[in-house]
Chain A
Amino acid sequence: MSRFFWRILLSTWLVVAFTTTASLWVAALMPASDPTVASGQRMDRLVALVARDLRAAQSGPMAGDPLGAARDAALDLAPLFDVFILAPDGRDVLGRDVSEVVRTTLEKGVNHRDGIDTLVAPRIVFEDTDLAGYTVVAVEPLAPISRALARREVRLVQLALLVIASALAAALLARFVVRPVRALQQAGRRVAAGDLSVRVAPGVGARKDDIAQLAHDFDAMTARIDTLLSSQQRLMRDVSHELRSPLARLQALISIARQSGSDDDLERLDRMEAELERLDALIGDILMFARLQARAEVERHPTDVVDLVQTICDDAAIEAQAEHKQVLFEAEETPVIEVDSGLIHSAIDNVVRNALRHTPAATAVRVRVDGNGARVRVIVEDDGPGVPESALTEIFEPFVRVGRAPSGHSPSGGIGLAIAQRSVRLHAGVIRASNREPSGLRVEIVLPTLH
């Protein structure tokens, strides 16, 4: 269970327990209200009356059965109070049981006229002056619930029930609030991770409250994003397909033209083919960048970065030969790390190609791999013109042209470094560029070994 759940549970529970205790306490402290005071005074008068009758019966000229009169009085008052006449031996003259509370009160010799706690303790009034050892006691009967509550063990059970019930109520409330919030939270995370098929509303059941509304709004939002993204993806796919079909036909036409072409034509056909390949590569890059933008997670598998970079350098070196450039590779032992090798391949490949494009003829691009337990680092350096200090971060934006030398027929201001940055960031890595002395650019890619 989450901390959120426990926090709600505990605070609700505390509030319920506190309010219940406080209200009971305040009720107990409240002075007896007027009707009850009046009832106490009435008991006083009645007890005095019964005592007088008893006295008269004991000693008066018309002395009859002293107990008979008192008995009558006791029975007359029965609907209002229990009236006991206790013989000197402490027993009720009518043989009824006298409760423990009454005995204690008598022993203390203090009238409970005002009822300290009328809920749990009965109001008791007695008189024993000049009654030849007899005592007249009036006890205000308690309501059945109060009678039960007057017992100590019942009060303990009551306390336990209060604690359990309030805890249960608090837990239910907490669950009621926390469950949908947790569901929303998890859904939010999945959406952030790129899963736009998540829906929360079916999970909140038949609720119609604000939280349910929030879930519905969340779903509506996710569905909207899903639609937008998938239509964007579809557009990308369609555009790529639509652009590539004529490109493929054009390529096929060039191949056919070549079959019967003259030598003059062949040279132009070569150039057409080269431009066509560039166009195709550019479409591929744009598509890849679009796909990367939509991704939030990578599929990692153990990868030997040194081997990966070696392959890239070998491939790049073959292409570089034509322009009399070199690719120098150097590596330390580095740990095998968990990355999406396809993405990291394209990231490093793009950086190396970029360097190769800008380094002057008869120079070399130097690629170095090192690492330790925490990170693997790839450094690519060229002898090109570098970029203005202010543009060192800008070069990772797609199609941004900065002050690097216009490179003839090489496409500049491309999208390669943007792809590299996106791929590296998806791996929680860092890519940064800096200028070299006297000239040249140095791009550093750092990938954490742990994720």
Chain B
Amino acid sequence: MADSNINVLLVDDDVAFTDLVAEFLDAEGGFAVTRRHDGAAGVAAAEAVAFDVIVLDVGLPELNGFEALRRIRGAVDTPVIMLTARGDDIDRILGLEIGADDYVPKPCNLRELVARIRAILRRQARVDSADSASDVLRVGDLRLEPGAQSALLGDTVVALTGAEYLVLEALVRDAGTVVSKDAIARHALGRRIMPYDRSVDAHIANLRKKLGPLPEGRQRIKTVRGRGYLYVTTA
């Protein structure tokens, strides 16, 4: 396992499938894949080794994907991509709410999976290289510290997932102006928005829930029909 390799933890109960994914990633080059076939083993592996990215199937036996994700999130900050079956919209949103960074429908084109992995890693690299002294962003009562990746409302820290923080950052950097979903996806997910892609909307919904309204009662994040989202600046 060379250091330059991208270490991927793949948790899926379909052994044949994980073998095929490993074979594909091998041929792509630059990946080292660790395979686990149930939720508990996946969580144990995630806690034991520092992976670059974790790919987690939703429909795992014993400990399901969401529970596994919750436990992994309780221990480490490793980016997680969930594999979800198409038609499971509710499940998908749920996955994002617990703190998955992205989702890929399964069955999926493996090139797409690789693209998503690279996107997440690009994003992660940018976050990691962010200077801890980078400028603090301030809008009204909200303060974002890019170095620590933390959001504060007054003195209270708001617990955000990595993706949620970056979505908020994308909005707050240009507070008062409309930011397109595509721009948000590029900034927060490291990729372009796809057709039928609700991930940005799901992250926004979670942010609205976690941040609550502005002190004077207005919604913090406004939907601008057909164009994107806007973080409201107090006049």
Contacts and interface: CB of A to CB of B under 8 A. Distances in A.
Interface in B64-115: 85-87, 89-90, 93, 105-111
Most chain B beta-carbon neighbours within 10 Å: one of A249, A250, A252, A310: A252
B14 A255 contact: no
B90 A284 contact: no
Contact of B225 (A248, A276, A310, A349): A310
Contacts, number: 80
Interface stretch (A56-64, A77-85, A313-321): A313-321
A253 interface: yes
Given A259-B27, A310-B226, A250 B90 contact: no
A248 B87 contact: no
A307 interface: yes
A319 B17 contact: no
A370 to B, nearest CB: 15
A393 interface: no
A305 to B, nearest CB: 11
Contacts of A248: 14, 17, 106-108
Given A255-B24, A259-B27, A315-B195, A284 B87 contact: yes
A314 B226 contact: yes
Contacts of B85: 240, 244, 284, 287
A203 to B, nearest CB: 32
B176 interface: no
B59 interface: yes
A276 B90 contact: no
A17 B138 CA distance: 79
Contacts of B108: 248, 251
B225 A249 contact: no
Contacts of A285: 87
Interface in A234-251: 240-241, 244-245, 247-251
Interface string B15-36: 0110011011001100000000
A249 B87 contact: no
B223 interface: yes
B44 to A, nearest CB: 24
A330 B16 CA distance: 48
Given A240-B85, A252-B24, A307 B226 contact: yes
A53 interface: no
Interface in A269-297: 273, 276, 280-281, 283-285, 287-288
Contacts of A318: 195
A68 interface: no
A256 interface: yes
A288 B87 contact: yes
Nearest to A277: B107
Interface residues of B, number: 28
A256 B27 CA distance: 8
A259 B85 CA distance: 25
A342 interface: yes
A306 interface: yes
A44 interface: no
Nearest to A287: B87
A252 B24 CA distance: 8
Interface string A136-149: 00000000000000
B109 A280 contact: no
A255 B195 contact: no
Contacts of A254: 109
A306 B87 CA distance: 23
A256 B114 CA distance: 12
A284 B24 contact: no
A304 to B, nearest CB: 7
B226 A319 contact: no
Nearest to A342: B89
Contact of B109 (A245, A273, A284, A287): A273
Contacts of A346: 89
Contact of A253 (B20, B27, B106, B111): B20
18 contacts: A245-B17, A248-B17, A248-B106, A249-B20, A255-B109, A255-B110, A259-B24, A260-B27, A283-B86, A283-B87, A285-B87, A287-B87, A306-B225, A307-B223, A310-B226, A314-B195, A314-B226, A342-B93
Interface of A: 240-241, 244-245, 247-256, 258-260, 273, 276, 280-281, 283-285, 287-288, 304, 306-307, 310-311, 314-316, 318-319, 342, 346, 349
* Top 3 closest pairs, chain A to chain B, by CB: A284-B87, A255-B110, A252-B20
Given A244-B85, A252-B21, A283-B87, 19 more contacts: A245-B14, A247-B107, A248-B17, A248-B106, A251-B109, A251-B110, A252-B20, A255-B24, A256-B23, A280-B105, A287-B85, A287-B87, A288-B87, A306-B225, A314-B195, A314-B226, A342-B89, A342-B93, A346-B89
